[in-house]
Amino acid sequence: MTEIYCAIDTPDLAAAERLVGALAGAVDGIKLGLEFFVANGPAGVAKLAEKGLPVFLDLKLHDIPNTVAGAVRALMPLAPCILTVHAGGGRAMLEAAVDAKGGAREPRIVGVTVLTSLDDDDLGRMGWAEGSEATVKRLAEEAKAGGLDGIVCSPREAAAMRAGFGPDFLLVVPGIRPAWAAAGDQKRITTPADAAAAGADVLVIGRPITGADRPAEAAQRIAAELAA
């Protein structure tokens, strides 16, 4: 079953606590990224974890293998269920991240491929002329070869990645916008139902939930669309 993780993108710990408390029972977990982590650090993560929802740490680690391994070990006490690294960091970096778990099942480490704020024109300007789907596929191959549990990709690539990498390769999919929500700065987007049908395991949804007057009701509306 496709899960919904709400992206808590705020530096305000008190506001995050209120939001996470309101979302209990309405989502399957929360995603904490750089904005929250830089402002609040590990202590802030631990504080939100006390609310009882699984925590996905989206820190997009990308450095030399030794540094990434050290970062993974430092994060292990926080017990995140999912952790991101950049799939383009190289095979040695990916393997070092996995080895740093010491055989633990969690966190599941997934490789960020092409950000959902980028399209083919953006990639072309950066020298990635093959386009988004081919680029995501190549990075997914590196992620799998490096021992990662899966990747982060846009919903536009999810069906191809599911077909190419099988049912056990975790697909974490941001860029989710219900038909009733604004696209914002996301480019390669689809609706929650379309992403789930394409094979997404985890939908990462932020502003359609967090920007709603009643976040829990917005999350429940999305869940109902998935179940329909």
**What one-character DSSP code corresponds to residue 133?**
H
Is residue 187 a contact partner of residue 118, using CB atoms and an 8 Å limit?
yes
Any idea what DSSP says for residue 176? Answer: B
Q: Kindly report the three-state secondary structure assignment for every residue of 13-79.
A: HHHHHHHHHHHCCCCCEEEEEHHHHHHHHHHHHHHHHCCCCCEEEEEEECCCHHHHHHHHHHHHHHC
User: Which residues form the catalytic set?
Assistant: 60
Residue 115: partners with Cβ closer than 8 Å, 6 or more residues away: none
Which helix (DSSP H) or strand (DSSP E) does residue 141 occupy? Answer: helix 132-145
Parallel, antiparallel or unpaired: strands 55-61 and 150-152: unpaired
